[in-house]
Structure 1
């Protein structure tokens, strides 16, 4: 079975419409309490982490987020 190429975290701008993404993210939080908003963010992180699927890439993301 061929080995997949090692995935790396994409840190260069990569969102097709960043302003539209930001607007959609803000809209997703509309009407939520602070606790609900935090819970939504936690669920969103888990959904996106599952989509990424690679622990090494996720570890790169953790490190990148810690540097911000």
Structure 2
């Protein structure tokens, strides 16, 4: 069974954060939601493993505040 990696696993996290931040700076709320959806779908497709994706959804949902 594949497991979701939750420990730091990025080669250049600061660079990625800067790129992500730059992407969103000029976007309005609707554009940000569109980019979020596209990014989620692209990365989900890259991962491809339904068990890993289900684990990610579960963990992400646990941190939603009412």
Shorter-chain TM-score bucket reads 0.7 to 0.9
- Ranked by relative contact order (alpha carbons within 8 Å, sequence separation 6 or more), the top structure is 2
Q: Calculate the TM-score normalised by the size of structure 1.
A: 0.84
Structure 1 moving runs of 4+ over 6 Å: none
Aligned residues: 63
Unaligned 5+ runs, structure 2: none
Q: CA-atom RMSD, angstroms? A: 1.0
Cα deviation per residue 1:19-67 (whole Å; 9 max; x = unaligned)?
1111110111121111101110110000000000011110000111122
Larger Rg: 1
TM superposition score normalised by structure 2 = 0.86
Q: Unpaired runs of 5+ in structure 1?
A: 1-5
The match for 2:42 among 43, 47, 50 is 47
